[in-house]
């Protein structure tokens, strides 16, 4: 059974947003762990899709920068694994932010994934990164029965 998702998105992006005069990061139903990662609560799970509740909004440049992490899904299939989020401002479709590859977890009870940007992820983050650029690792802390 999956548990909470711990993810900082990309540390440099978070730092950039908070350094802008009107930049802010708003949390709804999300906590921040001791390692400064956002913690999303589990919502539902199947063999191929894990979903998480909560919302993190990054805003700056008087609304020009408006990135929304909500309705997160980790999806696993024959073509690989990825993380997607719900629609962004002025959009109606889900966005696949990054491709995932599982790596060795640092601690028992965790599943850790490296994440690299997709073309849609590059667009959502304002075009300042490139396809394949690394995001911060995603960590899913499993529940204990």
Residue 62's contacts (CB-CB under 8 Å, 6 or more residues apart) are 22
User: What does the pLDDT read at residue 135?
Assistant: 97
**What is the Cα–Cα distance from 3 to 144, expressed in whole angstroms?**
9
User: What does the pLDDT read at residue 62?
Assistant: 80
Length of the chain measured in residues: 145
Residue 25's CB is within 10 A of a number of other CB atoms, namely 18
Residue 54 phi, psi dihedral angles, 5° rounding: 110, 165
pTM of the model: 0.90
List per-block mean pLDDT (blocks of 10 residues) for the chain, which spans 145 residues: 87 93 95 95 90 95 88 93 90 92 86 95 92 96 66
User: What does the pLDDT read at residue 64?
Assistant: 85
Bridge partners, 116 (sequence order): 99, 134
Helix (H, G, I), strand (E, B) or coil at 14: helix
**What is the Cα–Cα distance from 62 to 120, expressed in whole angstroms?**
22
Residue 120 phi, psi dihedral angles, 5° rounding: -65, -35
């Amino acid at each position: 059974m999956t548990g909470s998702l711990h993810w900082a998105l990309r540390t440099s992006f978070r730092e950039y947003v908070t350094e802008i005069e009107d930049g802010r990061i708003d949390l709804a139903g999300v906590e921040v762990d001791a390692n400064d990662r956002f913690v999303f609560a589990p919502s539902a799970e199947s063999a191929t899709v894990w979903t998480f509740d909560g919302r993190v909004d990054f805003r700056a440049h008087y609304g020009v920068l408006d990135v929304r992490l909500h309705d997160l899904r980790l999806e696993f299939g024959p073509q690989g694994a990825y993380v997607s989020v719900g629609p962004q401002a002025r959009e109606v479709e889900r966005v696949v932010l990054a491709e995932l590859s599982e790596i060795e977890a640092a601690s028992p009870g965790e599943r850790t994934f490296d994440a690299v940007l997709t073309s849609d992820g590059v667009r959502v983050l304002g075009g300042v990164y490139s396809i394949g650029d690394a995001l911060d690792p995603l960590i899913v802390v499993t529940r204990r029965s």
